[in-house]
Structure 1
Amino acid sequence: MITQDRNDRMTRIGPGTPAGNWMRRYWQPVALSDELAGNRPLRAVRLLGQDFVLFRDEAGRLGFLDRDCPHRGADLAFGRLEDGGLRCVFHGWLFDTEGKCLQTPAEPPTSRICQHVRQPSYPVVERNGMIFAYIGGGDAPAFPAFDCFAAPDSHVFAFKGLIECNWLQALEVGIDPAHASFLHRFFEDEDPDSAYGKQFRAKSTDSDLTMTQVLRQFDCPELQVETTDYGMRLFALRKLDEAKMHVRVTNMIFPHGFVIPLSPEMTITQWHVPVDDVSCYWYAYFTSFTDAVDKEAMRAQRLELYELPDYRSRRNRSNDYGYDAAEQRDRTYTGMGEDINVHDQWAVESQGRIQDRTREHLGATDKGIVTYRRLLMKAIKDVEEARAPLLALGEEDAGTITGPATIDLVAPSAEWENAWRAGEQRKRAKCPWLEDANTAQFDRAS
């Protein structure tokens, strides 16, 4: 049973909260590179209940600063990008990407105030179309050698979407393999050859079965969970007949992400980044192990649902997620269209802005959620007791955390554990960008 105090301890992420202190120990995605395109590369960012401004200066350097000007608190998100930095339009104070005050033009020429003023700034890096910031203070951790970071930019597509509820319930839908047989059930199958970039529409590895068929026809998977050096690995096992098993391998990565298969050639690495206690963004990399990603096609698909500049879904709480009773009767299980992002958004937003876990009754299919909550509570306690939490890595360890492996395939029932590893190795052996040293460590567990 989850008490209200424990629910608050897990979900509240503002400054000074237990979960907030823990989550600040990691790099957080804060924007897509696309958001800094154009003539004014600047974005206001709200992250973990704090307000920042992200910008690129004239030399291409990234800056991530507190949003309120240290002079009298005016909003730097309306500032001018000029003269090597960001200038507040209230009194013209100018700050560089590291928060150094360069000019205070309205002050007397003899003023030395610039020497004593510094706007808080935070480390920021750009990786494969996504921008990450670290707001935890002290030394930032190293990035693990995950596939989405190891792949060249040509083989990775980045996107995001807004969810209007607490980050934890948004994450938990991704570590619940059983829900897909219901929430994402389609009564009609699509041609898998036209399924590029679409979740659950492709064929499983070593099979002519599409995931839509597997999910619809075999809706009671056996779930297994193992802890790893990055979080946990989940197995959803669906017995097709006496000889064959469908195996779907997914992963939870700390602090709030998961890695799942999109198709035999592509994986999704997705984080659920808190804006504040009652909203979050999902940030996702789509990583290809074969050909370069068709980024224009992937972006066009997603912009059918998501509106810029906030990446808000066109189907949302205000219009009942596009629910149609006739469609629910004849075509989809939810009656909310064919984009699974809409299904997931309805599921987690319908639980409330912050789910009341004192009222829930977990079952056997929730073992991934139970395991993650235990890991989460331990990580929060580790930070409180000045220990490094899981996956807050030093440079030496970062290169050893690879993968993580993810696949769905049909395998001999008696040999499924060996078969999924062999299938993953075959995928990696054919990958044009993977180094040999990266192919052997994907299946380590602790």
Structure 2
Amino acid sequence: MMSSQQNDLITRVGKGTPAGELLRNYWQPVALVDELPAERPVCAVRLMGQDFVVFKDEQGNYGMLDRDCPHRGADLAAGRLEAGGIRCAFHGWLFDHKGKCLSTPGEPVGSTLCNRIRQSAYSIVERSGILFAYIGKGEPPAFPNFDCFAAPGEYTFAFKGVFECNWLQALEVGIDPAHASFLHRFFEDEDVSESYGKQFRGASADSDMPITKVLREYESPEILVSPADYGLRLIAKRPLNDEQTHVRVTNVVFPQAFVIPMSSEMTISQWHVPVDDENCYWYAIFTSFSAPTNKQQMREQRLELYELPDYTSRKNKRNNYGFNLQEQLTETYTGMGFDINVHDQWAVESQGVIQDRTREHLGTTDQGIIAYRRLLVDAIEKTQAGEKTLMMIDEQQAAHLTGPASIDGIGPADRWDEYWKESDINRRTAAPWPVPKA
């Protein structure tokens, strides 16, 4: 049982909070490249309770600055992109992507005021269709040589969505392998050939058995959790018979991401990023090991649910997530449609904006959540003591952090451990792009 003080310690992320200071030591996704359109590449961003403006200048440089103009506090996200930077619409003060003040046009001729003005600026880089920013102190960690970052652009697809709840409970649904047999249960199986771009709709690798059938008929997995250089590896085993076992390998990448299989050919690397204590975005990079991603199809699929510009779900708490009683009786476990993102959103938002963990009772299948919380508390304590934490890596270490392997397949019951490792090697070897060895 957790105390309310312990719950606050691991959930609150404002400036100066223990968890907030930890997360600020890592790169955080802040926008999709798609959110900065060519005609005016400017985007307002809220991250861990702080407000920023992200923009791309005329020379193609990305910048991220505090959102309030240092003159009188007006909103730089409403500014003009011109003359090598972003210009405040209130008095015309101009700032470049590094926060340098280039001009204070209302001042008298000869004024040197702009030489004394700087706007806080933050490191920002593009990786696989997502803009990552670093708002911590000192040098940021290096990016690991993970598949989602190593893949050529045509083999990835990036998207996001908002959850109206705390980041931690949103993350924890992804490190819970047992819930899929219930929350994502479909009473009938679709044609797996129509599953492209849809999670839990295809066939498990090395079989023609739909994943939906595996989850529905084998609902009690054995869950194995082991430490890894990047965080945790989780393996869920579902024995099908004396000869075959379904093996699902997923990963927690510290501090707040997971890597999971989407299909036999594609993985999902997903971050849960706090907007503030009570809202978060998930950012995902889909990585294909076989053929270039059909970005248009995948985007259209997701825009059936998510509404721009804020990537809010059309099914949400205000319309009871589209609940339909007849569907719950005959088609799906939740009665909330066939998009598993809606199921996850309901599950984590229904816990309240910040889950009260003093009232929870964890079970055997919650081993991954327990192990992750221990990692999180340990890292918070190390941060408070000024010590280095997990995944605070340099370029040399980053080059050797590859994979991580993420498999959903059916293999021999007596060789299940060798099976998933061989499946990962085979997929990497057959890929049309140079996949790093895991």
Residue 16 of structure 1 is matched in structure 2 by 16
- State whether structure 2 residue 84 is matched by structure 1 residue 93: no
Letter in 2 for 1:101: C
Letter in 2 for 1:354: I
Report deviation, 1:57. Answer: 0.7
RMSD (Å), alpha carbons: 0.7
SS at match of 1:286: strand
After the TM superposition, which residues 265-280 of structure 1 pair with which residues of structure 2 at under 5 Å, given as runs? 265-280=265-280
Cα deviation per residue 1:345-387 (whole Å; 9 max; x = unaligned)? 0000000000000000000000000000000001111111111
Cα deviation per residue 1:110-143 (whole Å; 9 max; x = unaligned)? 2111111100000000112110000002111100
Residue 76 of structure 1 is matched in structure 2 by 76
Residue 176 of structure 2 is matched in structure 1 by 176
After the TM superposition, which residues 328-339 of structure 1 pair with which residues of structure 2 at under 5 Å, given as runs? 328-339=328-339
After the TM superposition, which residues 41-440 of structure 1 pair with which residues of structure 2 at under 5 Å, given as runs? 41-435=41-435, 438-439=436-437
SS at match of 1:38: coil
Residue 36 of structure 1 is matched in structure 2 by 36
TM-score for both structures, normalised by structure 2: 0.99
SS at match of 1:123: strand
Cα deviation per residue 1:72-101 (whole Å; 9 max; x = unaligned)? 111111111111110111111000000000
SS at match of 1:414: helix
Q: How many residue pairs get matched?
A: 438
The 1-side partners of 2:250 and 2:434 are apart by: 20
Cα deviation per residue 1:400-426 (whole Å; 9 max; x = unaligned)? 110000001111111100111011111
The 1-side partners of 2:2 and 2:146 are apart by: 33
Letter in 1 for 2:291: D
The 1-side partners of 2:97 and 2:193 are apart by: 47
The 2-side partners of 1:352 and 1:38 are apart by: 38
Letter in 1 for 2:250: T
Report deviation, 1:434. Answer: 2.2
Cα deviation per residue 1:137-156 (whole Å; 9 max; x = unaligned)? 21111000010000000000
The 2-side partners of 1:268 and 1:84 are apart by: 37
The 2-side partners of 1:304 and 1:392 are apart by: 38
Cα deviation per residue 1:41-94 (whole Å; 9 max; x = unaligned)? 101000011000000111111110000000111111111111111011111100
The 2-side partners of 1:408 and 1:22 are apart by: 32
SS at match of 1:160: strand
Letter in 1 for 2:191: D
Letter in 2 for 1:108: P
The 1-side partners of 2:157 and 2:62 are apart by: 21
Report deviation, 1:38. Answer: 3.4
The 1-side partners of 2:38 and 2:3 are apart by: 48
The 2-side partners of 1:378 and 1:434 are apart by: 36
The 1-side partners of 2:46 and 2:96 are apart by: 20
Could you list the structure 1 runs, at least 4 aligned residues long, displaced by more than 3 angstroms after superposition.
none
The 1-side partners of 2:80 and 2:113 are apart by: 21
Report deviation, 1:300. Answer: 0.4
The 2-side partners of 1:132 and 1:187 are apart by: 40
Report deviation, 1:209. Answer: 0.7
Report deviation, 1:37. Answer: 1.4
The 2-side partners of 1:266 and 1:37 are apart by: 27
Report deviation, 1:167. Answer: 0.2
The 2-side partners of 1:140 and 1:146 are apart by: 17
Q: Which runs of 5+ in 1 are unaligned?
A: none
Report deviation, 1:208. Answer: 1.0
Letter in 2 for 1:80: R
TM-score for both structures, normalised by structure 1: 0.97
The 1-side partners of 2:325 and 2:202 are apart by: 27
Letter in 1 for 2:85: G
Residue 5 of structure 2 is matched in structure 1 by 5
The 2-side partners of 1:258 and 1:43 are apart by: 26
The 2-side partners of 1:171 and 1:116 are apart by: 43
